[in-house]
């Protein structure tokens, strides 16, 4: 079974799954004055930039937002925004689920993994309301915060056992339990506690019998350091989903087109290196409107998934849109959460993906990874490994 915020769900009843979303987001503190710095707008910024930062998101602003112009409302995802987005995901254009199935979309209910971190402002209660209102299964994530296990305000004591206990309490809650650990930040050389938090998160996932979603980091080497901490906790890599894969694959300075201009795309050997780590890969930045800043396009991601299938790793692919900006929602000019169903999976099929691959990438793999397993301990995991060897 999969633990959703409204109770256990049979994985067999699920179709498309978005494996790494945020849904609800807070933009941060409000600037005190028009001249105050705010989320990338310096105190010396022109009045027009400050005005744009404070304006509500609207279609005429889309071009500047796509190019990264700071805007407070664009960083805000409120419950009405999320509910509308989820309803579109469940039935694009206002149709019923039966209408969508008749139109060729994958059969089964829809599910979204709402991760903690990444600026998420989601609460268990809010996610439960969204699930009830939209009919979409929502699996809540829980992640180790820097102050988990802290005894004092200075954060001097960050005991991994206490971090594990905090996560377990959320995973084993009797009401609106978390169903996955994540998203867990990648190991950082500048954070001496990073690997201990990762190991504690993995230990909690192992004891609760759930999967763990891990930030890949900028390159496969960073992911390997993070996975080594997970290995030490005894959680198998088959229970780990790497998020942010598209960014780790990207290589803006490679791929010279022959005219001396650096190109963009997937760096040579990076996909194979990530697959070699043994974890599942979540391509969770789908549906962005392409701009000159686009490094890895959705078309290239589709080709990468076909390559995964060629290499015998079709069962290790998951998808998501990773929306954390309001302008990416359908209501504000973007492709919305429904992009995977309405555009990406059909593209994957047109490029040569068979029905089995499309179904697996679209949700089959994710539900298998998310399904709870009998709780275990590191010692039990090690003993299981010895028996398999």
Q: Looking at the structure, do residues 353 and 363 belong to the same domain, yes or no?
A: yes
Residue with the larger pLDDT of the pair 94 and 22: 22
Full-model pTM? 0.86
Predicted local distance difference test score (pLDDT) of residue 33: 42
Q: Which among 325, 237, 251 is positioned nearest to 281, based on CA atoms?
A: 237
> Is 31 a domain residue?
no
The most confident of the ranges 17-31, 47-61, 162-176 is 162-176
Q: Looking at the structure, do residues 70 and 90 belong to the same domain, yes or no?
A: no
80 pLDDT above the threshold of 90: yes
Q: Looking at the structure, do residues 199 and 150 belong to the same domain, yes or no?
A: yes
Q: Looking at the structure, do residues 17 and 155 belong to the same domain, yes or no?
A: yes
Banded model confidence at residue 93, pLDDT cuts 50, 70, 90: low
> Where is average pLDDT lowest: 34-38, 52-56, 292-296, 298-302?
34-38
C-alpha dihedral (164, 168, 171, 172), degrees to nearest 10: 170
Q: Looking at the structure, do residues 51 and 90 belong to the same domain, yes or no?
A: no
The answer to whether 114 touches 370, Cβ cutoff 8 Å, is no
Q: Looking at the structure, do residues 348 and 250 belong to the same domain, yes or no?
A: yes
Banded model confidence at residue 151, pLDDT cuts 50, 70, 90: very low
**Phi, psi at residue 71, to the nearest 5°?**
-155, 125
Predicted local distance difference test score (pLDDT) of residue 225: 93
Q: Looking at the structure, do residues 67 and 182 belong to the same domain, yes or no?
A: no
Predicted local distance difference test score (pLDDT) of residue 100: 43
Q: Looking at the structure, do residues 258 and 323 belong to the same domain, yes or no?
A: yes
Q: What is the pLDDT of residues 370-383, one digit of tens each?
A: 999 987 655 555 55
> Where is average pLDDT lowest: 151-165, 184-198, 200-214, 217-231?
151-165
167 pLDDT above the threshold of 50: yes
Banded model confidence at residue 268, pLDDT cuts 50, 70, 90: confident
Residue with the larger pLDDT of the pair 43 and 207: 207
Predicted local distance difference test score (pLDDT) of residue 40: 54
Residue with the larger pLDDT of the pair 187 and 124: 124
Predicted local distance difference test score (pLDDT) of residue 387: 54
Q: What angle do CA 302, 307, 312 make, to 5 degrees?
A: 130
> Is 90 a domain residue?
yes
Please, which residues bridge with residue 253 across strands? none
Q: For the domain that residue 297 is a member of, what is the CATH number?
A: 3.20.20.140
The CA distance from 389 to 385, in Å, is 6
Please, which residues bridge with residue 137 across strands? 111
Q: How many CB atoms lie within 10 A of CB 99?
A: 13
The percent of residues above 90 in pLDDT, for the chain, comes to 69
> Is 244 a domain residue?
yes
Residue with the larger pLDDT of the pair 28 and 282: 282
Total domains in the fold of the chain: 2
Predicted local distance difference test score (pLDDT) of residue 53: 92
> Is 198 a domain residue?
yes
Mean pLDDT of 185-210: 90
> Is 111 a domain residue?
yes
Q: Looking at the structure, do residues 146 and 61 belong to the same domain, yes or no?
A: no
160 pLDDT above the threshold of 80: yes
357 pLDDT above the threshold of 70: yes
Expressed as residue numbers, the domain containing 294 is 2-26+76-388
28 pLDDT above the threshold of 90: no
Query: How many Cα atoms sit within 13 Å of 280 on the Cβ side?
Result: 28
Q: Looking at the structure, do residues 41 and 181 belong to the same domain, yes or no?
A: no
Mean pLDDT of 292-313: 94
Predicted local distance difference test score (pLDDT) of residue 379: 53
Q: What is the pLDDT of residues 314-327, one digit of tens each?
A: 999 999 999 999 99
Banded model confidence at residue 50, pLDDT cuts 50, 70, 90: confident
Predicted local distance difference test score (pLDDT) of residue 193: 80
> Is 382 a domain residue?
yes
Axis-axis angle for helices 160-171, 194-208 (nearest 10): 40
> Is 92 a domain residue?
yes
Residue with the larger pLDDT of the pair 86 and 253: 86
Query: How big is the chain by its Cα radius of gyration, in Å?
Result: 21
Q: Looking at the structure, do residues 206 and 225 belong to the same domain, yes or no?
A: yes
334 pLDDT above the threshold of 60: yes
Mean pLDDT of the chain: 85
The percent of residues above 70 in pLDDT, for the chain, comes to 80
> Is 375 a domain residue?
yes
Q: Looking at the structure, do residues 298 and 258 belong to the same domain, yes or no?
A: yes
Please, which residues bridge with residue 281 across strands? 242, 317
């Amino acid at each position: 079974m999969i633990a959703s915020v409204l109770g256990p769900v049979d994985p067999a009843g699920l179709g498309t799954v978005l494996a790494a979303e945020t849904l609800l987001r807070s933009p941060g503190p409000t600037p005190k004055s028009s001249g105050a710095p705010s989320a990338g707008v310096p105190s010396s910024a022109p009045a027009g930039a400050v005005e744009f930062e404070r304006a509500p998101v609207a279609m005429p602003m889309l071009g500047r937002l796509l190019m990264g112009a700071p805007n407070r409302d664009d960083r805000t995802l409120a419950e009405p925004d999320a509910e509308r987005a989820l309803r579109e995901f469940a039935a694009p254009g206002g149709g019923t689920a039966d209408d969508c199935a008749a139109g060729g979309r994958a059969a089964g209910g829809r599910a979204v993994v709402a991760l903690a971190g990444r600026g998420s402002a989601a609460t268990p209660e809010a996610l439960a309301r969204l699930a009830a209102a939209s009919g979409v299964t929502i699996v809540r994530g829980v992640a180790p915060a820097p102050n988990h296990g802290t005894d004092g305000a200075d954060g001097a004591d960050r005991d991994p056992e206490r971090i594990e206990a905090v996560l377990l309490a959320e995973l084993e809650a009797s009401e609106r339990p978390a169903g996955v650990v994540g998203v867990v930040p990648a190991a950082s050389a500048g954070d001496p506690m990073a690997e201990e938090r990762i190991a504690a998160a993995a230990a909690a996932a192992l004891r609760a019998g759930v999967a763990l979603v891990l930030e890949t980091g900028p390159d496969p080497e960073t992911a390997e350091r993070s996975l080594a901490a997970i290995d030490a906790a005894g959680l198998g890599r088959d229970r780990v989903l790497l998020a942010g894969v598209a960014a780790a694959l990207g290589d803006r300075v490679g791929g010279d087109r022959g005219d001396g201009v650096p190109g963009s795309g997937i760096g040579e050997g990076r996909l194979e290196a990530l697959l070699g780590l043994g974890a599942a890969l979540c391509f969770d930045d789908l549906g962005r409107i392409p701009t000159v800043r686009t490094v890895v396009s959705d078309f290239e991601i589709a080709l990468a998934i076909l390559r995964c299938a060629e290499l015998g790793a079709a069962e290790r692919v998951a998808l998501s849109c990773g929306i954390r900006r309001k302008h990416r929602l359908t209501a504000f000019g973007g492709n919305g959460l429904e992009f995977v169903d309405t555009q990406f999976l059909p593209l994957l099929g047109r490029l040569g993906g068979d029905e089995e691959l499309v179904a697996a990438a679209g949700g089959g793999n994710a539900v298998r990874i998310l399904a709870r397993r009998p709780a275990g301990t590191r010692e039990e995991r090690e003993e299981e490994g010895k028996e398999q060897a």
